[in-house]
Structure 1
Amino acid sequence: MSDNAKETSNRAELRDRIIVRATEAFTSHGIKSITMDDIATSLGISKRTLYEVFEDKETLLREVLLKNQADKNEFLENLLAKSTNVLEVILVCFQKSIELFHKTNKRFFEDLKKYPSVYNMMKNNRDKDSESTVAFFKTGVEQGIFRDDVNFAIVNLLVREQFDVLLNTEICNEYPFLEVYESIMFTFIRGISTKEGAKVLEEFIHEYRKNRIERTGNNSPGLINN
């Protein structure tokens, strides 16, 4: 390997390490409380080296979110390749999102709004995702899992608004975050499901809650980090 190729490879490896470390720090403690100094120190590199790779914290945050989106897309593609049942895909994604919420400090979502360009990028990506989501639900109609009398564009918009309420109000001061999240998801899926779909959903909920009780030793949904 030539010196230039080796340097390029080392720089790419460093870039990936920085993104991984920043992701862990931002999601665990929130974005505002983590400085570029913190990230550089935790990686054992100088702040100058960090700034040579990412010009500022906002640029780093943008790359963290883009990497997260790419990972989600890859996970979904692999999942779709293995399953032909739309509802099963949705429920596996639900479990995956629960795992992520367990690892994410609510301040992370609150802090995102303090970076308007990054926040708007997320919203634009979400708008693009909505089109594929609606098409995905229509596939569920063809499979007999979801009702054929539902306007999925409207329903999808309403669910998105409910998640915005979840993140932007004080409801989680009164109820556990995951309990609210589960209520939104399960109520939504129940409402659009046929009898066949509802049966699959209830079997999933039964196993999901059974496994949660076995993990926690009680019936209380886990709380997101404060």
Structure 2
Amino acid sequence: MKDKILEKAQQMFLNLGFKSVTMDEIASSLGVSKKTIYKYFKNKTELVAEVTNLMFSSICTGIDSICALKKNPIEEVFDIKRLVMSNLKDEKSSPQYQLQKYYPKIYASISKKQFEIMQVCVIENLNEGIQQGLYRENIDVTFISRIYFSGMMSIKDKELFPLNNYSMNTLMNYYLEYHLRAICTEKGLKQLENQLKQK
């Protein structure tokens, strides 16, 4: 039952937002009483924390699987973007923004973990891209990995980038192109053009 609650809560949080969904609505959509949910989660904050950790683990597992395929680094970046978008349902409800606003402790904890995981992943991608001649040799890998993370977090700020002006998918595509054009060699730019044609 706990897994069913987590699955349904995740679906509803992504579609409607963490703040908007009530425990009553989750119970009702599962056809159970609210008491049943409280048997597994003492309050909504605990449920939100478990759901965000579950989503985070699921995305991390998917990213590890993509990285294990050892594709070229530019293709890898776009594959990871597609995986994240399919998990976050295009972020119509801007879950990260709502998490930050209404559950700041959970947001801070998940952001810290996200930063640690992304640093490893992005640094590996950058080093591999340099080795394959797709990224310029003279880039500062640590700086680029941090600015990449910072930009990824910023495009999810719906006050900076309102979702009625840009879909999250469009923003991610714009940002990846911006990032890669800054670091690619001529050889890398050809690979990037191929990826952009596919999107």
Give the 5 Å matches for 1:100-119: 100=87, 102-113=89-100, 114-119=102-107
Q: Distance in 1 between matches of 2:119 and 2:172?
A: 22
**Once the 2 structures are TM-superposed, how far is the Cα of residue 26 of structure 1 from its aligned partner?**
0.5
- Map of 1:123 onto structure 2: 111
Give the 5 Å matches for 1:83-162: 83-100=70-87, 102-113=89-100, 114-132=102-120, 133-162=122-151
- Map of 1:171 onto structure 2: 161
CA contact (8 A) 1:172 1:180 kept: no
Q: Distance in 1 between matches of 2:161 and 2:23?
A: 32
Corresponding pairs, count: 195
TM-score (norm. length: structure 1): 0.77
Q: Distance in 2 between matches of 1:186 and 1:146?
A: 13
- Map of 1:192 onto structure 2: 183
Q: Distance in 1 between matches of 2:82 and 2:94?
A: 22
RMSD between superposed Cα atoms in Å: 2.0
- Runs of at least 5 residues in structure 1 that lack an aligned partner in the other structure: 1-13, 209-226
Query: SS at the partner of 1:171?
Result: coil
CA contact (8 A) 1:58 1:115 kept: yes
Q: Distance in 2 between matches of 1:52 and 1:41?
A: 15
- Runs of at least 5 residues in structure 2 that lack an aligned partner in the other structure: none
Q: Which deviates more from structure 2 when the two are superposed, residues 39-48 or residues 124-133?
A: 124-133
Of 44, 62, 69, the residue aligned with 2:49 is: 62
**Once the 2 structures are TM-superposed, how far is the Cα of residue 174 of structure 1 from its aligned partner?**
7.4
CA contact (8 A) 1:19 1:64 kept: yes
**Once the 2 structures are TM-superposed, how far is the Cα of residue 120 of structure 1 from its aligned partner?**
0.8
Give the 5 Å matches for 1:40-79: 40-79=27-66
- Over 3 Å counting, the alpha-carbon distance change for 1:144 and 1:107 in structure 2 is closer
Q: Distance in 2 between matches of 1:129 and 1:31?
A: 24
Aligned-residue identity in percent: 22
